[in-house]
Chain A
Amino acid sequence: MELAYALVIGALTASGVYLMLRARTFPVVMGLTLLSYGVNLFLFSSGRLATGGQPIIGSTADYADPLPQALVLTAIVIGFAMTAFVVVLALRNQADNDDDHVDGRRPAPSPDEDNEEDKGR
């Protein structure tokens, strides 16, 4: 179970980071969402994984730590609010700049200068 769990967290985080480095706001928002899923799962696992345990010490041999569950709940709520805000901000960007590039506009104003710059790179 631990291995599968770790792989899921790793895959979510890696995809999240990759998407966050994209140049458009939609993939960035998706990336942030995936990253927060990965983080929430990670936080949940910090209390150790246990199946069928009760969150009370002494009730069963194998108990589940209730604190990370509370932390994850808080993190989910906060992450949800923040994602909603980013979506609104991305829409505002789209409306203001007629483009969903993260820098407002794609960097391609005058063709001559740009081509020279590209060759320079």
Chain B
Amino acid sequence: MNHWLTAPILIPLLGGILQIFIGYAPLSLRRTLAMTTTVLLLAASVVLLILASDGSYRVYAFGNWEPPFGIVLVLDRLSALMVLMTAILAFFCHLYSMNKADESSRQFHALFLFELMGLNIAFLTGDLFNLFVAFEVLLIASYGLMMQGHGTERTIPSLHYVVLNLAGSALFLISVGMLYSVTGTLNMADLAAKIPQVSAEDLPMVQAGGLMLLVVFGLKAAVLPLSFWLPKAYGNATAPVAALFAVMTKVGFYAIVRVFTLVFGAQAGALAGLGLDWLFPMALATLAMGVIGAVGARSLRTLITWQVIISVGTLLAAVALGTEAGTSAALFYMLNTTWVVGGLFLVVDLVSGQRGSASDKIVTAPRMYNRTLLSVLFLLGAVAAVGLPPLSGFFAKVLILQATTPGVEMAWLWGTLIIGSFFTLVAYSRAGSIVFWRNVDGHVEKPGKLTLSLGVAAGGLIAMAIIIVLLAGPISAYVDATAAQLFDTGAYLEILDTTAVKGGA
């Protein structure tokens, strides 16, 4: 039992509860406490990463109910990586929100911290039903966050988002019920052990349940037929919220990786590799649609929301290869894309604040006060997102391309990814050159101020693209080890080696 595992859940929980009680305290006090919470969370996730990097599984059994009977948290390399990635993104988003975004509602910081708690439960849990609960926790916080800000334009996208996700939750419960009715367990390790032993007559039930899980996770990750809610929902949220939501699609991605490599992995007998055949074409179609959306985007915000969909397509295409190299490349790409897309949301918000009524539309407008800084940040972000050398996006995409083996899959993946990247480049260059170069003289009267903290928040996330390149060696060693650990499902099952399972000694 290692109590550190509960830290990424307890820290935002306690911090969030505190924020609820001090809703009427001065704003500066609330900001200080909220920031302290996020910094503590960041520190705890670094500790977890160091713990996890020895490659063993750490289990925390709630109430000392040993798996598979109780709910467990399991820390491995993948969980630690996701928690740290979220904490870094959250730190910068939180810093950015301390300027204006948190003034619209007294509950902003509480919701923000609860959202982080939900994300961390989802990444750490070793139980399928607990994953459902984590999804609900992070979703209800995200509903609240999405409604932040003034004006009425958020109501309709939020309504669509909530209804869709409720329908998704219903599907999740149905698939959980189907899996439980056959296997009699919802612990992920126990499921992985039980599924190869499922009798032939029960197999269709498990298969249907597994594929419905894929649909639910696909909805969270915004895979093609389930992704039309995303541009409007993200496009209308306030900037720090939209930037934090860059990690929300990665929850779906994480769930797919976790469940479909562990439970329906190579050892799953008749169900090995379930869903991967579907995932690959869907992911490529998602990628293609994201590119089409990006080329057709009329505002910078919309352009970045389509970039989220492009990233999802790329990530899932690499995972759907079903190989260690593919998963490792996807994890490397995930770090790059989550931070950079988050940073781009913040940069675009800064840009639109200095353009008056033109806001973030891709049209000619008065020149920005801080045009040089903002244009450089946008350029770096775009280069990293498109995948041009020398920034991290390039290396990530090369890793994905290298992960394929010659064949039909390779032709499709190389074709879609390279042509897609080219058109994304066209979209970014067009947007960037109109917004930053085609200006009329003079400035707008009341531009949004670029304070130090705003610049640090936006610049920090974009700078992660450079930091990933500088630390490419250690990071790629870590993700390689993560992928190796994921595919060695036998080791995960060892967490079931408890006295309760072995019959008591």
Question: Which of B152, B155, B163, B180 is within 8 Å of A20, CB to CB?
Answer: B163
Is B166 within 8 A of A39, CB to CB? no
What's the Cα separation between A66 and B133 when bound, in Å?
A: 18
Residues of chain A lying within 8 A (CB to CB) of residue B158? 89
What's the Cα separation between A25 and B232 when bound, in Å?
A: 18
Range of interface residues on chain B?
A: 20 to 34
Residues of chain A lying within 8 A (CB to CB) of residue B169? 78-79, 82
Interface residues in A1-34 (C-beta closer than 8 Å to B): 20, 25, 28, 32
Question: Which of B129, B155, B170 is within 8 Å of A36, CB to CB?
Answer: B170
What's the Cα separation between A86 and B166 when bound, in Å?
A: 9
B162 on the interface (CB 8 Å rule)?
Answer: yes
Most chain A CB within 10 A, of B143, B160, B163, B180, is at B163
Is A78 within 8 A of B152, CB to CB? no
Is B167 within 8 A of A74, CB to CB? no
Residues of chain A lying within 8 A (CB to CB) of residue B140? 81-82, 85
B470 on the interface (CB 8 Å rule)?
Answer: no
B488 on the interface (CB 8 Å rule)?
Answer: no
Contact (A102, B160) CB under 8 Å given A43-B177, A46-B180, A92-B155: yes
State the Cβ distance, A100 to closest chain B Cβ, in Å.
Answer: 10
Residues of chain B lying within 8 A (CB to CB) of residue A81? 140
Residues of chain B lying within 8 A (CB to CB) of residue A42? 173-174, 177
Residues of chain B lying within 8 A (CB to CB) of residue A75? 173
What's the Cα separation between A36 and B28 when bound, in Å?
A: 42
The DSSP consensus for interface residues of chain A is helix
B467 on the interface (CB 8 Å rule)?
Answer: no
What's the Cα separation between A104 and B157 when bound, in Å?
A: 10
B178 on the interface (CB 8 Å rule)?
Answer: yes
Is A90 within 8 A of B159, CB to CB? yes
A64 on the interface (CB 8 Å rule)?
Answer: no
Contact (A93, B156) CB under 8 Å given A43-B173, A78-B136, A85-B140: yes
What's the Cα separation between A43 and B128 when bound, in Å?
A: 14
A47 on the interface (CB 8 Å rule)?
Answer: yes
B465 on the interface (CB 8 Å rule)?
Answer: no
Interface residues in B159-191 (C-beta closer than 8 Å to A): 159-160, 162-163, 166-167, 169-170, 173-174, 176-178, 180-181, 186
Residues of chain B lying within 8 A (CB to CB) of residue A103? 156
Contact (A82, B170) CB under 8 Å given A89-B159, A92-B155, A93-B156: no
Nearest CB to that of A81 among chain B residues? B140
Is A32 within 8 A of B155, CB to CB? no
What's the Cα separation between A116 and B174 when bound, in Å?
A: 44
Residues of chain A lying within 8 A (CB to CB) of residue B180? 46-47, 67-68, 71
Question: Which of B129, B136, B174, B177 is within 8 Å of A82, CB to CB?
Answer: B136
Contact (A39, B173) CB under 8 Å given A71-B129, A74-B133, A82-B140: yes
Residues of chain B lying within 8 A (CB to CB) of residue A68? 177, 180
Interface residues in B131-163 (C-beta closer than 8 Å to A): 133, 136, 140, 143, 147, 152, 155-156, 158-160, 162-163
Is B174 within 8 A of A39, CB to CB? yes
State the Cβ distance, A107 to closest chain B Cβ, in Å.
Answer: 13
Contact (A97, B173) CB under 8 Å given A74-B129, A81-B140: no
What's the Cα separation between A79 and B174 when bound, in Å?
A: 14
Nearest CB to that of B165 among chain A residues? A82
Is B136 within 8 A of A35, CB to CB? no
Residues of chain B lying within 8 A (CB to CB) of residue A79? 169
State the Cβ distance, A36 to closest chain B Cβ, in Å.
Answer: 6
A117 on the interface (CB 8 Å rule)?
Answer: no
State the Cβ distance, A39 to closest chain B Cβ, in Å.
Answer: 5
Is B155 within 8 A of A28, CB to CB? no
What's the Cα separation between A45 and B155 when bound, in Å?
A: 37
A96 on the interface (CB 8 Å rule)?
Answer: yes
Is A32 within 8 A of B176, CB to CB? no
Contact (A43, B163) CB under 8 Å given A78-B136, A82-B136: no
Contact (A97, B181) CB under 8 Å given A85-B140, A89-B159, A102-B160: no
State the Cβ distance, A90 to closest chain B Cβ, in Å.
Answer: 7
Question: Which of A46, A85, A97 is within 8 Å of B162, CB to CB?
Answer: A85
What's the Cα separation between A32 and B167 when bound, in Å?
A: 7
Contact (A96, B155) CB under 8 Å given A67-B180, A78-B136, A82-B140: yes
Residues of chain B lying within 8 A (CB to CB) of residue A74? 129, 133
Contact (A93, B162) CB under 8 Å given A46-B181, A81-B140: no
Is B167 within 8 A of A46, CB to CB? no
Residues of chain B lying within 8 A (CB to CB) of residue A85? 140, 143, 162
Interface residues in A46-77 (C-beta closer than 8 Å to B): 46-48, 67-68, 71, 74-75
Residues of chain B lying within 8 A (CB to CB) of residue A40? 173
Is A35 within 8 A of B177, CB to CB? no
What's the Cα separation between A103 and B173 when bound, in Å?
A: 28
Is B155 within 8 A of A104, CB to CB? yes
Residue interface bits A100-120, CB-to-B below 8 A is 1, else 0: 001110000000000000000
Question: Which of B129, B152, B159, B170 is within 8 Å of A102, CB to CB?
Answer: B159
Seed contacts A20-B163, A42-B174, A71-B177; 14 additional CB < 8 Å A-B pairs: A32-B166, A42-B173, A43-B176, A43-B177, A46-B180, A48-B181, A67-B180, A67-B186, A71-B129, A75-B173, A79-B169, A81-B140, A89-B159, A89-B162
Query: What are 10 A-B contacts with C-beta separation under 8 Å?
Result: A28-B163, A32-B166, A39-B174, A45-B177, A46-B177, A47-B180, A86-B159, A86-B166, A97-B152, A97-B155
